[in-house]
Chains A and B, each alone.
Chain A
Amino acid sequence: MALSGLIFIGYVLLHMYGNLKAFAGHDSFNEYAEHLRTFGEPILPRGGLLWMVRAVLIMAVLTHVYASMTLWRRAQNARPVKYARKKRTGAIWASGFMRWGGLALLLFIVWHLLHFTIAKINPAGGATNDPFNLMVDSFDVWWMTAIYLAAMLALGAHIHHGFWSACQTLGLTNTARSRGRAKRVSLTLAVVVAVGFSLVPLAVVAGVIEK
């Protein structure tokens, strides 16, 4: 759970960096996308690095989902009779949203891959072979932007609890000080990722990024 989660955090940070290239304009964004495919050539074939990253991510997703389902099932079995009344004293809001929020994120990732990678859906009906234009066309549709912003809120919440929890599972927070630090880093990562990803769709809506 912890290790696969940390892989995701590393990945979303790189992904976010790539997305922010949108602010550098059409050509810069598309060049970056193309460069991801030619990275490591000629030692690697075209798209070689991309597929290696994808293989790691697919394994991490399988591990993460399997581990979470195991924990979920164990929790169900550990308390068959529910409390009539139960408070969540001592817990942050995000920690109660890990399972359903995680499933929502999984659905979002499937949609996101269909949207931009596998099926390339352009809700505006335009061309789909230009990554930058596809992105701008998509975020010009209000409900697409809404889906993405909601997903980033869920991702931020997931990281807010997830990163600290990973530190704890890996046995890195053995003092009050290191615990406090892990929680602060967790919150910072959550805000950086959620805001960083949201900037591009918001900029499209605001007209800062245009075709």
Chain B
Amino acid sequence: MKLTLEIWRQEDAASKGAMQTYEIDEVSEDMSFLEMLDVLNEQLNSQGDEPIAFDSDCREGICGMCGLMINGEAHGPEVTTTCQLHMRSFKDGDTITIEPWRASAFPVMKDLCVDRGSLDRMIQQGGYISVNTGSAPEAHSVPVPRDHAVRAFTAAACISCGACVAACPNGSAQLFVGAKITHLGELPQGQPERDQRVVDMVAQHDHEGFGGCTNIGQCTAACPKEIPLDVISQLNKDLRTALRHGL
């Protein structure tokens, strides 16, 4: 199939970018979206043009490295990551708009690559549990009720791709923070640091310049791992509990 691509080009973090139009022919519907971009880059290379910079790593939908705003939807029209989106989701003759995640906390480094270090800095503020290193503890020594395990695992499926922030009209990362709060808060190992975790992570969230949540729900619709909105409610509940405990 033949496609028209409107792609954000930006030299580096300091320069001003703009949308540019490209034509691409003979795209197979079996190609992944990133393979289609690879083909376009080969085309650009052979013409002596600068290829388009975009992030990717595993291309299996599990690492969270890739992420593009495709036709106004984070990761495009399917509920999956950009790398697992295939060209069969588009039609011959389509015009596809491709933009980087837009958030002041995700500065554009080049073309479609953004710096998502703000997510890592939030993790550093509490998205972990403190345990002594050494031999692995006996798994059965700490029982976890099944409901808790399932909910923790649902939240733990987050791959930190940043689609929630990209899709949010407020540029908020509450789905991401809520996923960590719920994931660790549902498990016995997460309890000692539970209050401190939510207070510190929310403080870092606001410090990074993410917006506030107004429960619109576009984050959960964009999430390739289908993290439900109730993690944000859990985040609010934990924050209230922590504040009541005097933190």
Q: Are A172 and B233 in contact (CB under 8 A)?
A: yes
Give per-residue flags for A84-108: 1 if the beta carbon is below 8 A from chain B beta carbons, else 0. Answer: 1111111110011010000000000
**Distance in Å from the Cβ of A170 to the closest Cβ of chain B?**
7
Q: Are B103 and A79 in contact (CB under 8 A)?
A: yes
Q: Are B234 and A179 in contact (CB under 8 A)?
A: no
Give per-residue flags for A159-188: 1 if the beta carbon is below 8 A from chain B beta carbons, else 0. Answer: 001001101111111111011000000000
Which of A74, A164, A167, A171 is within 8 Å of B170, CB to CB? A74
Q: Are A84 and B217 in contact (CB under 8 A)?
A: no
Q: Does B81 contact A (CB under 8 A)?
A: no
Roughly how many angstroms separate A21 CA and B219 CA in the complex, as a whole number?
44
Which of B99, B105, B216 is within 8 Å of A91, CB to CB? B216
Q: Does A7 contact B (CB under 8 A)?
A: no
Which of B170, B228, B229 is within 8 Å of A78, CB to CB? B170
Q: Does A125 contact B (CB under 8 A)?
A: no
Residues of A within 8 A of B72 (CB): 83, 85-87
Q: Does A28 contact B (CB under 8 A)?
A: no
Residues of B within 8 A of A178 (CB): 230
Q: Does B172 contact A (CB under 8 A)?
A: yes
Interface size on A, as a range, is 35 or more
Roughly how many angstroms separate A183 CA and B97 CA in the complex, as a whole number?
33
Q: Does B102 contact A (CB under 8 A)?
A: yes
Main secondary structure of the interface of B (DSSP, over half): mixed
Residues of A within 8 A of B102 (CB): 79, 81-83
Give the size of the chain B interface in residues (CB under 8 angstroms). 44
Which of A79, A95, A171, A175 is within 8 Å of B211, CB to CB? A79
Roughly how many angstroms separate A75 CA and B103 CA in the complex, as a whole number?
10
A91-B216, A95-B217 in contact; A170/B236 too (CB < 8 A)? yes
Which residues of B from 173 to 223 have beta carbons under 8 Å from A?
209-222
Roughly how many angstroms separate A79 CA and B233 CA in the complex, as a whole number?
24
Q: Does B89 contact A (CB under 8 A)?
A: no
Roughly how many angstroms separate A71 CA and B171 CA in the complex, as a whole number?
11
Q: Are B230 and A71 in contact (CB under 8 A)?
A: no
Residues of B within 8 A of A117 (CB): none
Residues of A within 8 A of B11 (CB): none
Q: Are B222 and A90 in contact (CB under 8 A)?
A: yes
B residues at A contact (CB < 8 Å): 6, 8, 19, 69, 71-73, 97, 99, 102-105, 167, 169-172, 209-222, 228-230, 232-240
4 nearest A-B residue pairs (beta carbon): A90-B221, A171-B237, A78-B171, A78-B211
Given A80-B104, A90-B221, list of 14 further CB < 8 A pairs?
A71-B214, A75-B211, A78-B105, A82-B102, A84-B97, A85-B69, A85-B71, A90-B218, A92-B217, A161-B215, A169-B215, A171-B238, A173-B230, A176-B230
